[in-house]
């Protein structure tokens, strides 16, 4: 199943990140783009998500220096763009994979593309990793650990459900019961022509 592969890659990425555990560490993709394109994309996608998860932790420090906060906000903006780009790359992979499928006359479209479901699965992997840390944190109270374990159980159930939904969607697309349609991003705030603040500075 696809989701089994994706969840394993996401777990590997998150564990790899936490060996050094800093947003400034270098990135190396363990999958070759030419021979393992899908794995390459999934690994990169989760790495972006993992770094951004920790950006979001850092910027919430109430004592953060304003100059550092502005720099970090720019990094988060760039990360968000990279994240969206990777979603589109993953969807492009599936569009190519299923391009010759004969779509049935009664086929329906899903509420989201496969890659946006995968995006949620990657974020869910991060929630599970960090909730497990809290559920097993030795210096936390028993009440805290128990509350986090309850939340962790829900997250684990959610992963099973989301994984099943993604696998079912891909299977339906492969059989022509569902069809894909990808709407490219139309973000306005990064565009010199569409953002009035940027446009006024040209």
Residue 120 has pLDDT above 80, yes or no: yes
Q: What is the pLDDT of residues 37-96, one digit of tens each?
A: 999 999 999 999 999 999 999 999 999 999 999 999 999 999 999 999 999 999 999 999
- 150-158 average pLDDT score: 98
Q: What is the pLDDT of residues 24-33, one digit of tens each?
A: 999 999 999 9
- 135-147 average pLDDT score: 97
Residue 129 has pLDDT above 80, yes or no: yes
Stated pTM of the model: 0.91
Residue 190 has pLDDT above 90, yes or no: no
- 124-129 average pLDDT score: 98
Residue 182 has pLDDT above 90, yes or no: no
- 122-141 average pLDDT score: 98
Q: How confident is the model at residue 201 (pLDDT cuts 50, 70, 90)?
A: confident
Q: What is the mean pLDDT of the chain?
A: 94
Q: How confident is the model at residue 185 (pLDDT cuts 50, 70, 90)?
A: low
Q: What is the pLDDT of residues 51-61, one digit of tens each?
A: 999 999 999 99
- 2-10 average pLDDT score: 98
Residue 113 has pLDDT above 70, yes or no: yes
Residue 159 has pLDDT above 90, yes or no: yes
What pLDDT does residue 181 have?
Answer: 87
SS (H, E, C) the chain: CHHHHHHHHHHHHHHHHHHHCCCCCCCCCCCCCCCCHHHHHHHHHHHHHHHHHHHHHHHCCCCCCHHHHHHHHHHHHHHHHHHHHHHHHHHHHHHHHCCCCCCCCCCEECCCCHHHHHHHHHHHHHHHHHHHHHHCCCCCCHHHHHHHHHHHHHHHHHHHHHHHHHHHHHHHHHHCCEECCCCCCCCCCCCCCCCHHHHHCC
Q: What percent of the chain has pLDDT over 90?
A: 89
């Amino acid at each position: 199943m696809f989701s089994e592969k994706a969840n394993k890659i996401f777990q590997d990425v998150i564990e790899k990140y936490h060996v050094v555990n800093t947003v400034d560490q270098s990135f190396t993709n363990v999958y070759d783009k030419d021979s393992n394109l899908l794995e390459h994309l999934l690994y990169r996608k989760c790495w972006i998500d993992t770094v951004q998860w920790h950006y979001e932790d850092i910027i919430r420090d109430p004592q953060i220096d304003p100059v550092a906060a502005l720099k970090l906000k720019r990094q988060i903006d760039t990360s968000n763009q990279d994240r969206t780009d990777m979603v589109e790359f993953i969807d492009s992979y599936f569009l190519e994979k299923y391009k010759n499928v004969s779509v049935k006359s009664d086929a329906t479209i899903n509420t989201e593309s496969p890659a946006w479901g995968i995006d949620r699965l990657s974020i869910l992997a991060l929630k599970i990793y960090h909730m497990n840390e809290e559920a097993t944190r030795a210096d936390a109270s028993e009440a805290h650990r128990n509350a986090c374990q309850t939340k962790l159980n829900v997250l684990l159930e959610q992963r099973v459900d989301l994984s099943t939904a993604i696998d079912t969607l891909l299977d339906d697309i492969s059989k022509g019961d569902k069809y894909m349609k990808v709407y490219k991003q139309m973000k306005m705030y990064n565009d010199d022509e569409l953002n009035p603040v940027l446009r006024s500075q040209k």
